[in-house]
Amino acid sequence: MGREYFDPTPEEQIIVLVDSVTIARAERLIESCEHCNPECAEIPFDNVLDRVTGADPSVTDYILEYPALCPYCGREILENTLVEPT
C-alpha cells in the first residue's frame, strides 16, 4: 500500500501550460501540418513550442490550453502533431 506513489524518474520534468498567447505565436511559426502536407511536415509541434517558450526540450512537457490550428488546412494540432515550420 502506498508504494505505487513512488516516482521512478529522478529527472525534474517541467510541465508547461501553453496559453492562448503562446499558441498564437507558435501558429505563426508553422506553415502546414501532417494532415495537409505529410511530405514536409516532419517536426513535432512541441519542437515549435520549445522555440517559442525557450524551454529546455529534454525536461519540458507541454499541455495545450486548447489545440492549435493549422494555418493552411485548419485542422487541430496537438503537441505531437508533425508540422512544417515556416
Q: For the beta carbon of residue 33, count every other beta carbon within 10 angstroms.
A: 25
The string of DSSP codes covering 32-59 is EETTT-TTT--EEHHHHHHHHH---TTT
Is 30 among the residues that bind Zn ion (CB under 5 A)?
no
Candidates 3-11, 27-35, 50-58, 60-68: pick the segment binding Zn ion (CB under 5 A): 27-35
Candidates 3-11, 13-21, 24-32, 45-53: pick the segment binding Zn ion (CB under 5 A): 24-32
Q: Shortest distance, CB of residue 81 to Zn ion, whole angstroms?
A: 9
Is 64 among the residues that bind Zn ion (CB under 5 A)?
no
The only residue of 26, 33, 48, 68 in contact with Zn ion, by rule CB under 5 A: 33
Interface residues toward Zn ion, by CB under 5 A: 32-33, 35-36, 70, 72-73
